[in-house]
């Protein structure tokens, strides 16, 4: 389990810390299925947004209070900026914490709803994915609901998969997916310094992730970017459903495919 945690630290947490402002700038649309889920919650709902990223779902329901959390301190800092009052003085009803989804700092049976959007596919084993789902179940009150989305093996836009290199998988369905941080971004300077120390980092990655693990961030002059590799597990049809059914006390309410996601 320590080896898997190290893999997540290197190819998920540290990557999102490094690219947080750039990543957040690309994530602004509210997914219709997420909006519908939030709007169906009771008035004044308490919602845990686990892996909240830049906090784009905080204001969807103005009467709800959202407990946002993210393992990436960089993304949490971006989300906190949403809580600054608007010129008219209106403040979003939300809070943000840096927290591990496998050990949420919330009281059990306290939330009406939970979001876990594009998070579970960054967890590196079935047992660890099940542990995260168990945390969502623990914090839900009786009758509460969680919405979980993950990348699917079925991809409608094949351009997205061009970066998935054959032989880079660490297990069945596991891939390293590149993120290009342009040189002109303010955060790219620190990333470039890290990339220049790539040989040492690649040796560490081999120990942490096993054969097939890519090097750390690298410079790509042809694209004018620092290239990071992010760990993903792509979910087959029924795979997420199967995890939910293994949770004592959980009920699968709905399962659907939407825009490359289960």
157-187 tens-digit pLDDT: 544 544 445 445 556 788 898 999 999 998 8
The answer on pLDDT for 147 being more than 90 is: yes
The encoded tokens of residue 42 equal: 């009771």
- Give the CA distances from residue 216 to residues 123, 222, 232, in Å, rounded to whole numbers and listed in that order: 19, 18, 16
Distances (CA, A) of 198 to 32, 102, 144, 202, 209: 41, 30, 46, 6, 15
**Residue 111's pLDDT is what?**
98
Instruction: State the Cα–Cα distance between residues 242 and 240, nearest whole angstrom.
Output: 5
- Please state the pTM of the whole predicted model: 0.89
Higher-pLDDT residue of 252, 87 = 252
How many angstroms separate the CA atoms of 246 and 243, rounded?
5
Specify the pLDDT at position 124: 94
Residue 19 clears pLDDT 70, i.e. is over it: yes
Contact 114, 195 (CB under 8 A): no
Residue for token digits 């049976």?
109
Spell out the domains of the chain, with CATH numbers in brackets: 1-155+232-246 (3.40.50.150), 178-231 (no CATH)
Tokens of 89: 């003085």
| Predicted pLDDT at 187 | 84
Predicted local confidence at residue 189, as pLDDT = 82
pLDDT in tens, 212-249: 667 778 898 998 999 999 999 999 999 999 999 999 99
On whether the CB atoms of residues 188 and 182 are closer than 8 A, the answer is yes
pLDDT of residue 157: 59
CA pair distance 192, 10, nearest whole angstrom: 16
Mean pLDDT, to the nearest integer, of 33-44?
97
**Within 98-255, where are the H helices?**
126-139, 188-195, 198-209, 239-245
Whether pLDDT at 199 is above 50: no
């Amino acid at each position: 389990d320590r080896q898997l945690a190290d893999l997540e630290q290197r190819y998920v947490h540290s990557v999102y810390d490094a690219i947080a402002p750039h990543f957040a700038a690309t994530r602004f649309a509210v997914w219709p299925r997420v909006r519908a889920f939030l709007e169906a919650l009771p008035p004044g709902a308490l919602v845990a947004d686990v892996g909240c990223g830049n906090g784009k779902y905080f204001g969807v329901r103005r009467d709800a209070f959202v407990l946002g959390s993210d393992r990436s301190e960089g993304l949490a800092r971006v989300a906190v900026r949403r809580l600054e009052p608007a010129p008219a003085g209106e403040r979003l009803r939300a809070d943000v914490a840096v927290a591990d989804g496998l050990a949420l700092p919330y009281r059990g049976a306290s939330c009406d709803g939970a979001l876990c959007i594009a998070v579970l596919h960054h967890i590196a084993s079935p047992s660890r994915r099940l542990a995260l789902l168990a945390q969502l179940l623990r914090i839900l009150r009786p009758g509460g609901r969680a919405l979980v989305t993950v990348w699917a093996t079925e991809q409608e836009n094949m351009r997205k998969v061009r970066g998935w290199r054959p032989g880079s998988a660490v297990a069945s369905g596991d891939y390293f997916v590149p993120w290009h941080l342009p040189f002109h971004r303010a955060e790219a300077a620190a990333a470039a310094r890290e990339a220049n120390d790539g040989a040492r980092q690649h040796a560490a990655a081999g120990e942490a992730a096993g054969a097939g693990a890519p090097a750390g961030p690298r410079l790509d002059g042809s694209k004018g970017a620092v290239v990071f590799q992010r760990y993903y597990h792509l979910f087959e049809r029924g795979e997420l459903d199967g995890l939910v059914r293994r949770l004592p006390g959980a009920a699968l309410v709905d399962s659907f495919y939407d825009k490359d996601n289960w």
